[in-house]
Amino acid sequence: MSRPEPDMFDELCPSSFLPVRMDHKWAPLVMRSLEAAPLRFGELHAVLHRTSPKELTRALRTLERDGFISRAAAGRAVTYELTPLGRSLLGPLKVVYEWTADHWDEILDARDPIEA
């Protein structure tokens, strides 16, 4: 195993700026939901019905802050859309989803003894 780079724990290390915060499980799902077309908040919430409006708002703000989605307001209607930067992350996200699907049974088997 190689030694970590000297700046690994530096505040400005690239690893501290992961594109999609792994602590926010809804962010990648929001991005996938916006893949086909821009959506309004209510439409996103209908797709991601297991999240609360508060959590969805948090995910949208995080993604907008990091430049992955844009927010357009026309009167009271607010629409969210992937930016070119956000679209460029869809490929790597799909690889992670495919890996998860390929290893789904192993992941569930690993969880079973711990949850029992």
Q: Which domains does the chain have, with CATH numbers?
A: 14-115 (1.10.10.10)
Whether 89 shows a pLDDT value over 60: the answer reads yes
Starting at the edge strand that comes first in sequence, how are the strands of the sheet with 77-82 ordered?
39-40, 77-82, 69-74
Helix (H) or strand (E) holding 31: helix 26-33
Answer whether 30's CB lies under 8 Å from 40's CB.
Answer: no
**pLDDT confidence bin for 32, thresholds 50/70/90:** very high
pTM equals 0.76
Residues 35-77: tens digit of each pLDDT = 999 999 999 999 999 999 999 999 999 999 989 999 999 888 8
* Whole-number pLDDT of residue 87: 95
